[in-house]
Structure 1
Amino acid sequence: MPPRIRLLATTTAPLGALAYSASRGVRCYAGKAKKPAASSDAEKPTAVDDDAIDLNKVARDEFNEWMSGPGRNFKKPLYNEMNYITSYDRKTWQRLGTDKDKLNVPFPLNHAFRSHPVLSEELKEEIYSRVMEGGNSVRAVSAGLGVSLERVAAVARLKAVEKEWIKEGKPIATYLTKALHTMLPVTQLSPKGQTQTFHEGLQDMQSHQFSHRQAFVPVSESRIFTRADAGKEFGLPPTEESVPHPDLIVLQREKFAGLDNTARVDMQRERDRQAMVRREEKERKEKERKEKSGQVIEKGRWAWRLTTATTGRVGFRYGVPHQDRKKGQVKIPTRVL
């Protein structure tokens, strides 16, 4: 193994380059570095000047100067408005106006990203009231208030836990919700008689794994290839049946067909009645199946099913031990069946 060459402690830094001083342990800026005059002088190392500038101190001074100037706008959040760095003019540091869509750009280098709004407390209370107190289905509340199915179910469950904690006297941490409402866009509950603003898209559908493959299907020019045909090729139902709210598509089709509002409401009520009948029938069958299978006792996360049995007629699974672990037992077959 060849001997190692000991490196010099100082290196030659060109004009305007960064150097590291081992004695001071700080990053310094070599302001003036002499150029090698001759070949003999080029081999000699050039040390960093004693009056080098500490970049850490420069960065701290610039940060403190910025915080005492434009940075004062970001020390405290604005109530009911987004307070991002893109909400100000980078030259004059004045607000760009009142357009919430232009102000809702948290990342300066990604103008396509928008902060997702959060639900207001009034809207959460309305969701809880309709689901838990009014007895409406999660699907109906989701379609009426413009909130996804998963979010409606989550709000109903969390609100139930919150009210139970308040009844028990447990402390509720509401400061986080209040802070989020001051820094993010909020979806408010519309007054009665006005159309509720949708919180999010309701018809977003997850990509099924069956649709990830390619399928080449020869189709004649005279044939109309629909979404139902495409779903059949992948073994999936049509898109209008797979979305979370297929009834909204039916309502839109009836609107395009020219039906008046009264007829559409009556048809929707009939569909809701039929859906309720199907749900009750399903619950009745599930209850009958549980009753036939035996009595079920639930304790927390455990459930026991009790069935009637005749004393003395216990099968091989109950009370008869296996002979596999006993000594002297022949465990290989000794005869042909």
Structure 2
Amino acid sequence: MPPPLRSPSVIPSTSCAKQLRKTAQSRSFSSTPQRDQRATRARRQFFRWLGTQGQNFLNPLPNSTNYLSAYNAAGQLKRVVEAASDRAERSRQSGGTSNSNDNNESGGGNSNGELPPETVRDLRPFPMNPAFVSQPVLSEEMREKIWERIMKKGQSVREVSASLGVEMSRIGAVVRLMEIEKEWQRIGKPLARPYAKAVMSMLPQTHYRPDDTNPRPHESINDLPLHAATGAQIFYPTSESRHFTRTDAARIFDDNLLPADDRVPHPELTLMHKDFKAGMPQEQILARQRAREEAEAKRKQAALDKRKKDREEVQIVDNGRWHFRFTDINVDEAGKDGRGYRGVGWRYGVPSMDRSRGAIKIPTRVE
């Protein structure tokens, strides 16, 4: 049954009609004005942000990452403001006065014009994700010095890694990329220098400081690599009076597994730390390390000389299409059974004894 409707026979008066028209004009059956009001408020906040924090990104500071988390609501660097307040507090306690101006507090730096060092808070580019911290990258000068030490001075990758505090795999990657860059420069291929400069200006960098006696390492260079044999958890019972070392622990996992001190990328640093823990003076530690380096250099040179001598003993005959290599072979080097790896034909494989006629293929006794 339809709902009852009011009969239209009753005609409102003139004053009531005007009031109804006025109410109909002022009343809104849509939520558009509310959305416009919210958008206007958001627009005002956006322009307010452009005038405070946004100015720091329109005119970024040199030698700074300029991330969102590094600035307060007024557009000032938090570490600069904190440094200025610390100076004012120290000056107040000492009885002096502080003359830090607004320019320094807003992002210029301390009284000497230098910015305070960045903290972990300043290296968070995403304010809603505090767990993400931007890691430093190698500067252009550092990459150039790594390439120069490896390719021009002939230093080893291990030596450069230990002196500069850069992991060995990264050293190799830097040298390969620098070789490609040098090759592109040689053939005249253009490089994306503006793009690289813009990206490097937004990231923390590890700079090369030759005058620094104790340089800060770029990353951890002596982390123990994970071996497949150490993945299982083993409970090995042993006597309490036994001196259980890392060598014993390595043999528990695998008979051929080296101990952790020998599997680290820089075992020489481990030996130096052991000498330091033993109470040796600094001069003796360095002297022992130099002796180990000289012994390692002699061993490598002996291996190179042996390889060169073996290469010279090979007689090469070139017939235009093939290269035949002839070497002198001693029959005694094949071993007693003639199946030694130094014997003739070992390189191409030795036929199995199972193919010989009359050979017994089943075991005759049990060991």
Same fold by TM-score greater than 0.5: yes
- SS at structure 2 position matched to 1:114: coil
1:113 maps onto 2:113 in alignment? no
What code does the residue aligned with 1:241 have? Answer: D
Alpha-carbon deviation of 1:84?
2.2
TM-score (structure 2 length as normaliser): 0.60
Task: Report which of the two has the higher share of helix.
Answer: 2
| Count of aligned pairs | 256
Structure 2 vs 1, CA of residues 164 and 308 (structure 1 numbering), >3 Å: closer, same or farther? closer
2:298 to 253, 272, 277: 277
Residue segments in structure 1 that go unaligned for 5+ positions in a row: 1-48, 298-303, 310-336
Give matches, 1:1-337, under 5 Å.
50-53=29-32, 64-71=43-50, 72=54, 73-75=56-58, 77-89=60-72, 91-97=73-79, 98-101=116-119, 102-192=121-211, 194-235=213-254, 236-287=257-308, 306-307=323-324
- SS at structure 2 position matched to 1:100: coil
Moved more, 242-251 or 97-106: 97-106
- SS at structure 1 position matched to 2:243: coil
In 2, Cα distance between equivalents of 1:141 and 1:56: 62
Q: Is the 8 A contact 1:78 1:182 kept in 2?
A: no
- SS at structure 1 position matched to 2:78: coil
Alpha-carbon deviation of 1:215?
0.9
Alpha-carbon deviation of 1:93?
4.5
Q: Is the 8 A contact 1:78 1:183 kept in 2?
A: no
Q: Is the 8 A contact 1:77 1:183 kept in 2?
A: no
Alpha-carbon deviation of 1:132?
0.8
Partner of 1:300: none
Partner of 1:331: none
In 2, Cα distance between equivalents of 1:51 and 1:81: 49
In 1, Cα distance between equivalents of 2:220 and 2:172: 16
Identity percentage of aligned residues: 35
In 1, Cα distance between equivalents of 2:308 and 2:33: 77
Moved more, 179-188 or 162-171: 162-171
In 2, Cα distance between equivalents of 1:241 and 1:59: 66
Structure 2 vs 1, CA of residues 156 and 52 (structure 1 numbering), >3 Å: closer, same or farther? same
Say which one has the larger Rg: 2
Residue segments in structure 2 that go unaligned for 5+ positions in a row: 1-27, 80-115, 327-358, 360-367
In 2, Cα distance between equivalents of 1:154 and 1:296: 39
Q: Is the 8 A contact 2:137 2:205 kept in 1?
A: yes
Structure 2 vs 1, CA of residues 67 and 295 (structure 1 numbering), >3 Å: closer, same or farther? farther
Q: Is the 8 A contact 1:294 1:305 kept in 2?
A: no
In 1, Cα distance between equivalents of 2:317 and 2:35: 69
In 2, Cα distance between equivalents of 1:74 and 1:305: 66
In 2, Cα distance between equivalents of 1:281 and 1:239: 27
Q: Is the 8 A contact 2:165 2:221 kept in 1?
A: yes
Alpha-carbon deviation of 1:126?
1.3
Question: What does the per-residue CA deviation read over 1:238-278, in whole Å, with 9 as the maximum and x for residues that have no partner?
Answer: 11111111101111122222323332222222211221222
Structure 2 vs 1, CA of residues 282 and 84 (structure 1 numbering), >3 Å: closer, same or farther? same
Q: Is the 8 A contact 1:77 1:182 kept in 2?
A: no
TM-score (structure 1 length as normaliser): 0.65
Partner of 2:88: none
In 1, Cα distance between equivalents of 2:57 and 2:164: 34
For the aligned residues, what is the CA RMSD?
A: 3.4
Q: Is the 8 A contact 1:294 1:306 kept in 2?
A: no
